[in-house]
A and B are shown apart, each in its own frame.
Chain A
Amino acid sequence: MIDPTYRKKMVVVEGSYAVAHSAKVCRPNVISAYPITPQTHIVENLSQFMADGEIPNCEYINVEAEFSAISALIGASAVGARTYSATTSQGLLLMHEALFNTSGMRLPVVMTVANRAVSAPINIWNDHQDAIAQRDTGWIQLYVEDVQEACDTLPQLYKIAEDNDIMVPGMVCMDGFILSHVYEPVILLEQDLTDNFLPTFQPEDILDPEDPKTFGAFAAPDTYEEFRYLHEQAMQKALPKIESVAKEFEEIFGRYHGGLVDGYMLDDAEIVIMSMGSILGTIKDVVDEYRARGEKVGVLKVRSFRPFPKEQIREAIKNAHVVVILDKNISIGTNEGALFTETKSCLYNSKIRIPVVGYTVGHGGRDIRVEDIAKIIEETKKVIKSGIEVESQFLSLKEELL
């Protein structure tokens, strides 16, 4: 039951509008973006806010490409501006080199990624391949389940990224179309509450003629490795920060979407289904049906993919009899999705010995239905009895196309 006062605050808007509103109330100083489906409505809404004078002390740069969008934010962030962009798919891939540069220079740029498949073949619909391909760029990656979480995670991510002990950029990954173009009831972030939650950006090091500093220097083998180590240390510091910021957000706004991970019907679950993004909603519906029949099935939502919450995942699944992981991506050449590979990896040096199986699903926007999830659960049950026969597989291949 939704609290009536809570319901009263809700409005039905498009996901992209809600996200643009969130970006606005975070008070960015520089927005730079290039339009690309399905991110377009976010940047169009921000453009309209600018045209209506609704974002004070902000410059909006309509760049000629995504590569310049992120590059402009590198310059802006180094001057001490709070910066925002949004992109997807080929745009995110075009940013790839500069993503390393942003994080290497420890500039807390924040972006929304409306996740989409990558070419070729060209496909505009949702999967997670674009962001997963950026997993080693040193950015924080938080995957969200619904529009409200996409909105609420933006100020959280600024607070995490801009922490002086962290200073690492981050992306909020929301499923393209499924969340960006859906009309859902949401509570739009209130400006006053957001101001209370998110302080102004106060970096220790900026480009300033009063106190000249050198950004992006040349580092030889005698110094480069330490930069990598310190970057990794910053990511490790982000782990508890992601948890604490989610709780701080809850105190002010009354909403909690999970920290690094979030369990659903998990405590006594024998079968645990793990995934990221909007598919979790469908999974939870199916789990409700199983629970109604007395079957101990639970869900582990992974919200933070980078940094990867090894301890929290181990803790969450240690009592399960089997874990099944659904990935909307594949690392071609392994027959595995990234979450599957990394979850198995984090279990190896622990005392947890449970079978882990994977499905790579929903490529290029292929629908994942309730009956698909039920089928996966049924197949996974067999693993408890007879062991793993197929470690990881595609969910819904059409034999006639192969």
Chain B
Amino acid sequence: MSKNTPQTYITSGHSGCAGCCDAFAAKFALMGAGPNTIVVNPTGCLEVMSTPFPYSSWQVPWIHSLFENAGAVASGVEAALKALGKKDDIKVISIGGDGSTMDIGLGALSGAFERGHDFTYVCMDNEAYMNTGVQRSSGTPFDASTTTTPAGKVSFGNPRPKKNMPAIMVAHGSPYVATTSIGFPRDMIRKVKKATEIVGPTYIHSHAPCPTGWGFDTSKTLEIAKLAVETCLWPMYEMENGEITQVRKVKDPRPVEEYLRAQKRFKHLFTMEGGEEEIKKIQATADWNIKHFGLQ
């Protein structure tokens, strides 16, 4: 990292897996947010691995309450800072996984955004409930095999596409919603910084590949993350006041097969009868992304 690289505020020594996507996501998010930040963390891998009492990896004030209430806790933190006259100096960010963000915590998050609290929510989307053993979430992509949507004799795995979470947050009237990926640290740091500087509820959805849950070598986290973007399965864009304002172009999109083949969670698509047809459906999603977001 060059001397211009922003400092991070989460220490090494946490108990995350080798190649942990959450550790990257938290690190990049704090690089963007800076030191005058209070972090609200819902339950998940990140909370467990970073705060085994009496240790803590956090060099900024940090609070974890429950799995489903980060949006509400962040609302309270922000309101209290306002009431105590500290809000101008202190930023509030919440960093949560796909389960806490898109499923169990969606109500609290929706409430916080609807009320217009001035904070940034960062979703680190590793596409399943990794902490409890790789069960399906609404962030799990189509045909991924998880422990609650396993591929089997009559199943190709998860039967539904990912929930379009950024669109939901845009629908709340958020002034800034962006997607990013831990495979592109500078992009993520820039977007989090931008989000925290905008007044109002802002949302960053970061793709975060998990070696354990997805089944790839621990040295490949960033590589797999980049591959998701290069196959156009993970479009990176910014939306300001409901309009797309910037898109990361992909000049020569690679076939989705390359991304799928690199992960055990899609292994069955290459061995089961009918797998080819399924891969075509996934390619169609990538093609739709290319067209819809103007990725080329």
Q: Is the CB of A209 within 8 A of B90?
A: yes
Which chain A residue shows the least CB distance to B60?
Answer: A212
Q: Is the CB of A64 within 8 A of B84?
A: no
Q: A61-B115, A215-B62 are in contact. Are A75 and B47 (CB under 8 A)?
A: no
Q: Which of A64, A206, A214 contacts B62 (CB 8 A)?
A: A214
Q: A97-B66, A217-B51 are in contact. Are A61 and B60 (CB under 8 A)?
A: no
Q: Is the CB of B75 within 8 A of A101?
A: no
A78, B41: Cα distance in complex, Å:
13
In the complex, B147 has a CB within 8 A of chain A: no
Question: Per-residue CB proximity of A207-224 to B under 8 Å, as 1/0?
Answer: 111001111111110010
In the complex, B65 has a CB within 8 A of chain A: yes
Which A1-46 residues sit within 8 Å CB-CB of chain B? 29-30, 32
In the complex, A178 has a CB within 8 A of chain B: no
Q: Is the CB of A79 within 8 A of B75?
A: no
Q: Is the CB of B80 within 8 A of A68?
A: no
A105, B66: Cα distance in complex, Å:
11
Decide if the interface of chain A is mainly helix, strand, loop or mixed. mixed
Q: A67-B108, A79-B38 are in contact. Are A215 and B63 (CB under 8 A)?
A: yes
Q: Which of A29, A64, A207 contacts B38 (CB 8 A)?
A: A207
Q: Is the CB of A79 within 8 A of B64?
A: no
In the complex, B35 has a CB within 8 A of chain A: yes
Q: How large is the interface on B (under 10, 10 to 19, 20 to 34, 35 or more residues)?
A: 35 or more
Centre residue among B68, B79, B82, B84 by max chain A CB count within 10 A: B79
Q: Which residues from B are CB-within-8-Å of A30?
A: 76, 79-80, 83
Q: Which residues from A are CB-within-8-Å of B115?
A: 61-63
Which chain A residue shows the least CB distance to B92?
Answer: A75
In the complex, A263 has a CB within 8 A of chain B: no
Which B192-242 residues sit within 8 Å CB-CB of chain A? none
In the complex, B263 has a CB within 8 A of chain A: no
Which chain A residue shows the least CB distance to B38?
Answer: A207
Q: Which residues from A are CB-within-8-Å of B83?
A: 29-30, 57-59, 76, 81
A97, B105: Cα distance in complex, Å:
14
Q: Is the CB of A72 within 8 A of B79?
A: yes
Q: What residues of chain B have their CB less than 8 Å away from a CB belonging to chain A?
A: 35-38, 40, 47-48, 51-54, 56, 58-66, 68-69, 71-86, 90, 107-108, 110-112, 114-115
| Minimum-distance CB pairs A-B, first 4 | A75-B76, A72-B76, A64-B111, A71-B72
- Further 11 A-B residue pairs, CB within 8 A, beyond A75-B74, A75-B75: A30-B79, A32-B76, A57-B83, A68-B72, A72-B73, A72-B76, A77-B80, A79-B38, A209-B38, A209-B90, A214-B61
